[in-house]
Structure 1
Amino acid sequence: MDTQHLKTFIQLSSTKNFTQTAKLLFVAQSTVTNRIAELEKSLGKSLFIRDKKQVVLTPEGQLFLGYAKRLLELEESAIEQINASNFSRKVLRFGTTNSIYENYLYPLIRSVLTNDLNMSTKIIINHSFEILSFLQDGLIDIAFTYIPFTKSGYICTPFKEDELILVTAKSNADFAGGIAQKDLIALDYLFCNFALQKVGLFIRELFPPHHQFKFEIDNSSKLIPFLLDGIGYSFLPKSLISRYLENHSLISIPLLDFNTPTIKSYYTYKDDDAVVLSKIIPLIKA
């Protein structure tokens, strides 16, 4: 499958405009049209619905988009490995969510970099489901996720446990003594599910269906500046904001009539890679 066709498809799915796609790819608009037509012909499916106003992915196009991105990533990874300047140096590829990386992985990565392990290190940050897809496709060697992976041929081990707490700036004293679940709806709540699967669903279900939050984002660490400025409340992993609790710039709000689930994370790798990772696993467990 022609990679230029895939790149054109991915770009068009983003811009939803043939003219804009052509400009971004530095090709004629007819080239974009022809590439998409050839791709649709090879797949035997229409990937876009076109009219005078917009270009929209078909259900088949939405399904293919994820595969197209992974095909390109696999090609880039293969080229990178083949063209490595030092074949004696193993490239160790970590896949991790942003919050696991920020909370836990610095000591591990530092150990890999400072010990004489004869390894180069590459970090890929994404959501748990995507990281596990990368692992299955051979794009990474080890995955750190909030989802346990029980597929045959893989080793999945519990990594860390964390506490989910409700926090706000110390200037927001209305609920400093505690809050009942029914009162959550009155908060200026800053929402992030940070791809924690059941934990994200737990937070969502604390509020009425279709509740419109004051602010939403998919990266939990990006909420912190707003909280420090006194804007709203949010449930966050304790490890992420522990230093702000210690210096009292943020406070934890006690929960009066409900509890939060434990945040559990895992690391997963292929059985076949156990020998390759034999120098890394002890560092993870340290």
Structure 2
Amino acid sequence: MDTELARTFLAVISAGNFINAAERLHVTQSTVSARIHALEQQLGCTLFVRNKAGTTLTAAGRQFQKHAGTLVRTVEYARHDVGVARGFRAALTIGGRFGLWEQLLLHWLPRMRELAPDVSVRAEIGMEADLMQGLVEGRLDIGVMYTPESRPGLTVERLLEETLVLVSTTPRKSGLPGNDYVYVDWGPELPVIARTSPISSARRSR
């Protein structure tokens, strides 16, 4: 089975309809329709019910969904494992959290290139959930983030502590924010005021 058909199937589920899926895949709506039709012919069943509200999975579609995800992940893992570019002895895929690239990973990449010029490096950016999923699925070798999860087959190491400091244009005797303080919620991973937040890396165990 062509994995592009499975990818299109998953894109339709994620997007909710054929039009949005076409935009995400950068193809025409007719291409998406043709791929889904070809997939349904191969499987011998109807996968979607199309209506004004969008698309709904049939019972057969729900059953195929888990297989489609496994198929796509397996191909990605195989491509990553064996698809080393010519002139390199190995490939490394690293993912980093938004906010850690500018001050940390952008400095690490040239250093890595200098120390291991024969290793092909592919870099991705994302949030913790995406990075962890990439590690679990085998798309990433290393993920750099604030709150990695402990999973079987993964090794988690603390890299450094990042200190967050409250900065104000108005001196404050107490050091605490006043009424004009603007609170920015960066999520549960980051503390609010003047605390340390550990930056860690998770990698797939070899």
Q: So what's the TM-score if we normalise by structure 2?
A: 0.68
Q: Distance in 1 between matches of 2:99 and 2:140?
A: 18
CA distance in 2, matches of 1:144, 1:133: 13
Shift in Å, 1:150: 3.1
Give the secondary-structure state (helix, strand or coil) at the position aligned to 1:133.
helix
Q: Paired residue for 1:155?
A: 155
Aligned partners of 2:182, 2:39: CA distance in 1, in Å? 45
**Any gaps of 5 or more consecutive residues in structure 2?**
none
CA drift at 1:71: 5.4
Alignment of 1:176-255 (within 5 A): 176-177=171-172, 178-180=175-177, 183=179, 187-193=181-187, 197-199=188-190, 203=192
In the superposition, relative to structure 1, how do residues 20 and 103 fare at CA in structure 2: closer, same or farther (>3 Å)? closer
Separation in structure 1 between the aligned mates of residue 53 and residue 27 of structure 2, nearest angstrom: 21
What one-letter code is carried by the residue in structure 1 that aligns with 2:196? T
SS of alignment partner, residue 139 of structure 1 = coil
Do the aligned partners of residues 136 and 41 (structure 1) sit closer, same or farther apart at CA in structure 2, a change above 3 Å counting? farther
Question: C-alpha separation between the residues in 1 aligned to 2:119 and 2:72?
Answer: 24
Q: C-alpha separation between the residues in 1 aligned to 2:199 and 2:117?
A: 26
Alignment RMSD, CA only?
Answer: 4.1
**Residue number in structure 1 paired with 2:37:** 34
Equivalent AA in structure 2 for residue 266 of structure 1: S
Give 1:265's aligned residue.
199
Residues paired across the two proteins, number: 196
The CA distance in 2 between the partners of 1:109 and 1:164, in whole Å, is 24
TM superposition shift of 1:55: 3.8
In structure 2, relative to structure 1, the CA distance for the partners of 1:120 and 1:21 (3 Å cut) is: closer
Deviation per residue, 1:66-120 (Å, 9 max, x gap): x84x854653463365443426521122122122222212332222111255212
Q: Provide Cα deviations, 1:169-218, integer angstroms capped at 9, x if missing partner.
A: x4xx4xx424458x4xx65544433xxx443xx65xxxxxxxxxxxxxxx
Query: Is 1:142 aligned with 2:146?
Result: no
- The answer (yes or no) to whether the contact 1:95–1:124 under 8 Å persists in 2 is yes
Is this contact kept in 1: 2:8–2:36, CA < 8 A? no
**Using a 3 Å threshold, how does the CA distance of structure 1 residues 19 and 159 change in structure 2: closer, same or farther?**
closer
**1:155 and 1:271 in contact (8 A); partners too:** yes
Residue 38 of structure 1: how far off its partner (Å): 6.6
Q: SS of the counterpart of 2:158?
A: strand
Q: In the aligned structure 2, how far is the partner of 1:261 from the partner of 1:56?
A: 47
1:165 aligns with 2:165: yes
Distance across 2 between alignment mates of 1:115 and 1:75: 30
Give me the whole-angstrom Cα distance separating, in 2, the residues matched to 1:179 and 1:56: 52
Q: Percent identity?
A: 20
Equivalence for 1:226 = none
Q: In 1, distance between residues paired with 2:122 and 2:102?
A: 15
TM-fit CA distance, 1:133:
2.1
The letter for the 2-side match of 1:192 is W
**Retained in 2: the 8 A contact 1:156–1:266?**
yes
Higher relative contact order (CA 8 A, sep 6+): 1
For 1:192, what is the secondary structure of its paired residue?
A: coil
Q: Does structure 1 conserve the Cα–Cα contact (< 8 Å) formed by 2:163 and 2:196?
A: yes
SS of aligned partner of 1:25: coil
Letter in 1 for 2:99: S
Gaps of 5+ in 1: 204-258, 273-286
Partner of 1:130: 130
CA drift of 1:36 comes to 7.2
Q: Show the counterpart of 2:95.
A: 95
User: Take 2:177 and 2:19, find their aligned partners in 1: how far apart are those partners?
Assistant: 53
- TM-score by structure 1 length? 0.52
Q: Please report how far the alpha carbon of residue 152 of structure 1 lies from its aligned counterpart in structure 2 after TM superposition.
A: 4.1
